[in-house]
Amino acid sequence: MNPQNGYDIEDISVGMSAETAKTISEADILLFTAVSTDTNAVHLDEEYGKTTMFGGRIAHGMLSASLLSAVLGTRLPGPGVIYLAQSLRFKAPVRIGDTVHAKVTVKEVVVGKARVVLDTVCTVGGKVVIDGEATVMATSRAKRESGK
């Protein structure tokens, strides 16, 4: 593990996983709207949401997806990780009161380049709402100790 309690590339293996969960609130949606400047009415106006295929308001897809970033940055690999790529497929809406479970699972480790490829998935009540794949650069104990 690195000094900030993340995993160095040398400590990561295929099959490792980590997750977090968060219940989405009205405040989360309003704060995400303020930060992202995404004021799409489907996220903010219930009456408008009722006229859409969703039948009501839904949370921003990227709000749920950001939980994947939280897992990568705080748990696996953890502090010091650098995001290189992320694919996302949005499968179902998330609504206020839903608890989103975000999980990452290591599928490939390239020690020489300090790269990790992970499957990423968000679920609500066991149903996949987002899936995809992330590529990150992990910290390296060998590089830290060699001063490079």
Which candidate, 126, 83, 137, places its Cα nearest to that of 101? 126
Which H or E run includes 61?
helix 61-74
Nearest 5°: the CA angle 15, 17, 23 is: 150
CA distances from 69 to 83, 86, 145 (A): 8, 10, 27
Tell me if 43 is assigned to some domain: no
Tell me if 81 is assigned to some domain: yes
Tell me if 116 is assigned to some domain: yes
Tell me if 78 is assigned to some domain: yes
Tell me if 33 is assigned to some domain: no
Tell me if 29 is assigned to some domain: no
Give 129's Cβ-side CA count (13 Å radius).
25
Tell me if 45 is assigned to some domain: no
Tell me if 120 is assigned to some domain: yes
Beta pairing class for 82-90 and 115-124: unpaired
Cβ(129)–Cβ(91) below 8 Å: yes
Which residues does residue 88 pair with via DSSP β-bridges, in sequence order? 132
Q: Residue 42 phi/psi, 5° resolution?
A: -65, -20
User: Which amino acid is it at 45?
Assistant: D
* pTM greater than the 0.85 cutoff: yes
Q: Give me the tens of pLDDT residue by residue for the chain, a chain 148 residues long.
A: 665 678 999 999 999 999 999 999 999 999 999 999 999 999 999 999 999 999 999 999 999 999 999 999 999 999 999 999 999 999 999 999 999 999 999 999 999 999 999 999 999 999 999 999 999 999 998 877 776 6
Domain of 141? Answer: 9-22+59-146
Sheet with 127-137: list strands edge to edge: 17-23, 99-110, 115-124, 127-137, 82-90
Total number of domains constituting the chain = 1
CATH number at residue 93: 3.10.129.10
